[in-house]
Amino acid sequence: MSETIAKKTIFSGIQPTGTFTLGNYIGAIRNWGPLQDEYNCIYSIVDMHAITVRQEPAKLRQNTLEAYALLLACGIDPKRSTAFIQSHNPNHAELSWILSCSTQFGELSRMTQFKVKSEKHSDDVNAGLFTYPVLMAADILAYNADLVPIGADQKQHLELARNIAGRFNQKYGEFFTLPEPYIPKTGARVMSLQDPTKKMSKSDENPNACIFILDDKDTIIRKFKRAVTDSEAEVCYREGKDGINNLMSIYSAVTGKSFDEITAEFAGKGYGDFKIAVGEAVADHLEPVRTGFAKLIEDKAYLKECYTAGAEAAFKMTRKTLSKVYRKVGFVDAR
């Protein structure tokens, strides 16, 4: 008789800072749905992280609801995963305080994103901006997550979470799982359409640099038509062709075609034909997401039902963790 192997737990959070980009989608979010078959998945809209920079309250509420609806539209099934809004589970913030007492000031001061955001928001370098990597660690460790899907820019934060967990375990006995990164083999990095040496970003000042997953088909094709390429007029993947390499990576991600197949498909054709083909393929690939989102965002009652149930499940899981942590550090039992 074969033994049942417990599924590993994956935690991932995404900030509600506007519509997800094609880079967010290809590099991370579209992979989350299939993970539900293999793992115990926990997904959170991390609105508490969002307020480390100034937010307009009504806009933050709107962005949070839209981000949650987008998760569901992108394939997250609230019956198969725990999908919730971070601020609806106070255990994250409570655990963050305990973990901050196992975090060194010097570790936080070395966080690259703190330095970057401090320069960008120099008029509001607040304590939350400095300590939010500890809250990020709490997000992960509250569930004793085995794996965390991350991009290259989050490796430093995951390493900090591992250090904090290890230090806590050393002080109070083995308890926290040391989380490992989950990095997809392909599609992990989509570059700007206007400067293909930079990662695609929703904050790019050039509106043609970024594809949003809710952009309509005409907008998507127009942006791809304006994408930066080179003067060679040959669709092939090689060093020095950053623009074409980026477009080929995107086309490959949404069609499943290899670079060799793409090169053969566009042999003898110009960049204009290729750009239109990429735009159409991306628009068609995203159509189910746009349609699903349009239905979900109109059904506020269903969304509330889903995120409330998700928060209740998340609270129960994490309260057990937090109660054990409180006992380990020496707090008197409340009940």
Query: Which residues are catalytically annotated?
Result: 117, 199, 202
173 Ramachandran zone, left/alpha/beta (phi>0; psi -120 to 50): left
Q: What is the DSSP letter of 26?
A: I
Task: Spell out the SS3 assignment of 128-193.
Answer: HHHHHHHHHHHHHHCCCCCEEECCHHHHHHHHHHHHHHHHHHHHHCCCCCCCEEECCCCCCCCECC
CA 265 to chain centre: 33
Q: How many CB atoms lie within 10 A of CB 236?
A: 16
Nearest-CA neighbor of 96 among 125, 129, 126, 131? Answer: 131
Q: CA 200 to CA 185: how far, in whole Å?
A: 19
Residue 301, token pair as written in the block: 């009652």
